[in-house]
Amino acid sequence: MPNITVRGPEAPRNIEALDPVFTVANLSVYYGDYEAVRNVDMTIGNREITAMIGPSGCGKSTVLRCFNRMNDLIPGARAAGTITYHGEDLYGDHVDPIEVRRRIGMVFQKPNPFPKSIYDNIAYGPRVNGMKGKMDDLVEQALTQAALWDEVKDKLKQNALSLSGGQQQRLCIARAIAVRPEVILMDEPCSALDPIATTKIEDLMQELSRDYTIVIVTHNMQQAARVSDRTAFFTAEVDEQQVRHGRLVEFDETSRIFTNPSDKRTEDYITGRFG
């Protein structure tokens, strides 16, 4: 087994009792006729960090985008099967996808602040959502939670694009937090960052997981091992027609996935024999 440190004792938690926020059953996702991901079953626990790992093209981002219905915005994309959010069908007729995306925020691979001031980046969501309360306090709170306040408190009027990449990513996390979501989805949030900025985001994730449910897609297995409570390992399988489909191979507590996986394919991947 590789020398990978699994989420350390500084953040002990009882993850025996999984309190489901999302329950995914028999989920398949299509882009047009192409079945990109086939038959996924997994559960996302409340205030846990769940990592999705696996080789390129196995459908991690596709599944992640189902959790806040971002795939609805891709023409031809369609989900089959069920995802419940607190027991309710996330794709039910009565569900408003805009409200879904407020409650389930997203942070992308490349930091994407608006070309506006730091302040306005944070204030934008609360304004659009008609949130009550003093905006200055709200902005400070979100930036503090995202561990950025001390670095930007004297330059809130400055353009957000003047910040470093790592600061921009924390700003994007602050922007996601500002609308008080319950869940934060992160699609490779550190892949454009240097190791120091990556460590800051990882520390921040640990901190945020006290209040938020986090799902992260990462290419970095060490990162999954360091930050997550549970890990889903995906791979791509080729069917009889030579078409590749993403499959969930194994979903378990992170410590188990990295020390004693039950599937040979998981073991091969985490030991670097594949992928």
What is the binding site for ligand ATP (CB under 6 A)?
31, 36, 54, 56-62, 74, 246
Rounded to a whole number of angstroms, the minimum distance from the CB of residue 31 to ligand ATP is 3
Rounded to a whole number of angstroms, the minimum distance from the CB of residue 59 to ligand ATP is 4
- Pick the closest to residue 175 from 126, 116, 213 (CA basis): 126
The rounded distance, in Å, linking the Cα atoms of 236 and 50 is 20
Name which of 58 and 160 has its Cβ closer to ligand ATP.
58
Name which of 166 and 246 has its Cβ closer to ligand ATP.
246
Name which of 53 and 176 has its Cβ closer to ligand ATP.
53
Q: Are 114 and 171 in contact (CB under 8 A)?
A: no
Rounded to a whole number of angstroms, the minimum distance from the CB of residue 262 to ligand ATP is 21
Rounded to a whole number of angstroms, the minimum distance from the CB of residue 52 to ligand ATP is 8
Q: Are 223 and 253 in contact (CB under 8 A)?
A: no
Name which of 6 and 40 has its Cβ closer to ligand ATP.
40
Beta-carbon contacts of 143 under 8 Å, excluding residues fewer than 6 positions away, are 118, 122, 149, 152, 153, 171, 174
Q: Which helix (H) or strand (E) holds 23?
A: strand 20-31
Beta-carbon contacts of 96 under 8 Å, excluding residues fewer than 6 positions away, are none
Rounded to a whole number of angstroms, the minimum distance from the CB of residue 54 to ligand ATP is 6
Name which of 75 and 130 has its Cβ closer to ligand ATP.
75
